[in-house]
Amino acid sequence: AAPVWRDPLPFQVLARGACVDWGLRPVLDGATCVAAARMLNVQRPVLQYTADAGRPEGCHLLQQLDSAETTLWLSLGAMNRGNGASTANGDSRSPICSQLAI
C-alpha cells in the first residue's frame, strides 16, 4: 500500500526523544532533510554533514548556546541509529522526523 500522511504537515521537530519514540521516522537523506527544513520555516537551510557519534539519527537542527542561528545537519553512520534529541555544553540538537505512516 502507498504511504499516507497522518497530518497536514509531514514533518515535526522533536525537543525530546527519538523519532521512533513518537511513532515517527527519521529523515535519512539530504534532499528530504532540506525540504523538511523549508516546510518548517528554518531560515537558510544549508545542510551540513557529521559523522560524529552522539548525534540524533538522521536530519536534525542544532541551536548553539553562543549563537542565535539554527543550523541543519544530517548524521551519517550507524552509530547514531535510534538517537534522539540531546543537549550538551548548552547546544541543543533536535531531530526532524517524518510523519509518514509505517
Does the predicted model carry a pTM greater than 0.75? yes
Dist. CA 96–CA 9, nearest whole Å: 12
Q: Look at residue 2 and tell me if it is in a domain.
A: no
**One-letter identity of residue 76:** L
Identify which of 4, 3, 8, 21 has the alpha carbon closest to the alpha carbon of residue 97. Answer: 21
State the residue range of the domain holding 82: 11-98
Q: Look at residue 84 and tell me if it is in a domain.
A: yes
Confidence class for position 66, pLDDT limits 50, 70, 90: confident
Q: Look at residue 1 and tell me if it is in a domain.
A: no
Residue 102's pLDDT is 40
Confidence class for position 100, pLDDT limits 50, 70, 90: confident
Our count of domains for the chain comes to 1
Helices marked H in 1-102: 30-39
Of 89 and 26, more confident: 26
Q: Look at residue 82 and tell me if it is in a domain.
A: yes
Q: Are 84 and 16 in contact (CB under 8 A)?
A: yes
